[in-house]
Each structure stands twice: as C-alpha cells, then as structure tokens.
C-alpha cells in the first residue's frame, strides 16, 4: 500500500490522509455485510427452532 503523495518527508503534508483508497475496501465491506446477514438469518432460524421446542412442552 503506497501513500497517495510523492513527498519523501512529512514536511508540507496537510489535511486528512487515507492510504487505503483503492485497496479493495468495498470488497471487505461487502463480505462483512454478507456475514452479518448470514449470522442474523441463522440466529433467527435457531430462535425459531428453540421457541417451537419449548412451545410443545
């Protein structure tokens, strides 16, 4: 990951610096969101199963 500027020292560098631009953060974000959706789905299915198991008693 390279810096988005051509300076050799920190002198003269101002403002916000985000060196992660273009490194695939969109792919990581999509992957994390997919895992969250999967976790919610399986948690919901488990809770539904647990509720039905206690309801029969």
Instruction: Provide the H-helix boundaries in 1-57.
Output: 25-55
Q: What is the pLDDT of residues 41-51, one digit of tens each?
A: 999 999 988 88
Domain that holds residue 49: 24-57
Whether 13 maps to a domain, the answer reads no
Whether 32 maps to a domain, the answer reads yes
pLDDT for 55 equals 82
Q: Is the pLDDT of residue 1 over 60?
A: no
Domain count, the chain: 1
pTM of the model: 0.54
Owner of token pair 């920190």 = 10
Q: Are 21 and 4 in contact (CB under 8 A)?
A: yes
């Amino acid at each position: 990951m390279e810096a988005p500027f051509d300076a050799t020292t920190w002198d003269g560098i101002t403002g916000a610096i985000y060196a992660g631009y273009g490194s695939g953060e969109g792919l990581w974000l999509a992957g994390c969101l997919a895992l969250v959706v999967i976790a919610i789905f399986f948690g919901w299915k488990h809770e539904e199963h647990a509720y039905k198991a206690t309801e029969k008693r």
